Amino acid sequence: MSTATATQNTRPVAAPSRRALLTGTAALAAWFVVMNVGSAAIASIAGYHGSTGMLFALSMSPGYGSAQAHGILTALGPQGRVANAATLAVFDVAFPLLYGWVLSGALRKLSARWPVSARTRTRLARFPLVAVAANWVADACILTLIATFPASLGTAAGVASVATTLKFAVMGIGAAAVVIGGAAAIIGRLRHAGARRAGSPA
């Protein structure tokens, strides 16, 4: 192994500050609210008067098939399909970037204290990007289904379903790792503080 490679493997992964993570989390929460309010506004403009939750039925429901996707798009009607496409195009491009950055940043910050190599930390930080890519793939397939309706495209529906399932799986694993890692870090700090107090002179 060359010196350059060894240096690269041991180089620490830059972790965001706590303020940056809090700001990113606040932006993610705010965007979630904007997305829900905005979807209702888009539905009203498009003339769709059904449940706005239906606009996210395909992008938030893993495991559907071609017949189920066709049934959902049929239930939306023409106005609902327009609102669905507009909602995805307007809001669901930035949303994956936000949750991907927050998860990636949290994993970078937590793994900086873990006894793992720099390469492993880099891989951990990039793991949430799989969800981001899967989200965009699913959105592209859903938009294709809407654009080609009433044709029933089994391949597009299948890819959208798999990508949506993958998105939620990666998000769940990443979030669980952050929660467990964060809890372990807090417990470690409490134990360290307790040991210091116990060892200090009365």
Residue 4: per-residue pLDDT: 42
Contact 146, 121 (CB under 8 A): no
Residue 146: per-residue pLDDT: 95
Written as one string, the DSSP assignment of 138-170 is HHHHHHHHHHHTTS--HHHHHHHHHHHHHHHHH
Tell me the CA distances in angstroms from 115 to 120, 183, 186, one per residue in order. 10, 17, 17
Residue 12: per-residue pLDDT: 53
Residue 10: per-residue pLDDT: 44
Residue 153: per-residue pLDDT: 84
Residue 159: per-residue pLDDT: 95
Residue 8: per-residue pLDDT: 44
Per-residue pLDDT of the chain (202 residues; tens, 9 = 90+): 443 443 344 455 567 788 888 898 999 999 999 998 999 999 999 999 998 889 989 998 888 888 999 999 999 999 999 999 999 999 988 899 999 999 999 998 888 878 878 888 889 889 999 999 999 999 999 999 999 998 878 899 999 999 999 999 999 999 998 888 878 767 777 776 666 666 655 5
Residue 7: per-residue pLDDT: 39
What are the helix and strand counts (H, E) for the chain? Answer: 7, 0
Residue 128: per-residue pLDDT: 94
